[in-house]
Amino acid sequence: MRYLIILEPTATGYSAYSPDLDGCVAAGDDRDETIALMQEAITFHLEGMAAEGYPLPAPRSESAYIEIVDPGAAEDLSSQEP
């Protein structure tokens, strides 16, 4: 299975979570460490769910980026005369 994880920089490194796995989180000193720790956390989380007889959640989340015009840049453009 392949789960989406969200990485967020922090004051001391990185933290991560998976939107498909409530409560499954990890934190590390850098991005690579956090990804490795998150991989371990997801495996542990799923093993625990299976041991308790819970169904394993199918990965459903996906990511997308959207473009947003910088509001400050839009104002700069509108104030320019032709």
pLDDT at 8: 98
- Name the residue among 7, 12, 10, 59 with its Cα closest to residue 34: 7
For the chain, the structural domain boundaries read 6-79
Q: What is the pLDDT of residue 71?
A: 85
The pLDDT of 28-41, averaged and rounded, is 98
How far apart, in whole angstroms, are the C-alpha atoms of residue 34 and residue 26?
A: 6
pTM score: 0.81
HSE on the CB side for 51, CA within 13 Å? 6
Q: Under CATH, what is the fold of the domain 6-79?
A: Double Stranded RNA Binding Domain (3.30.160)
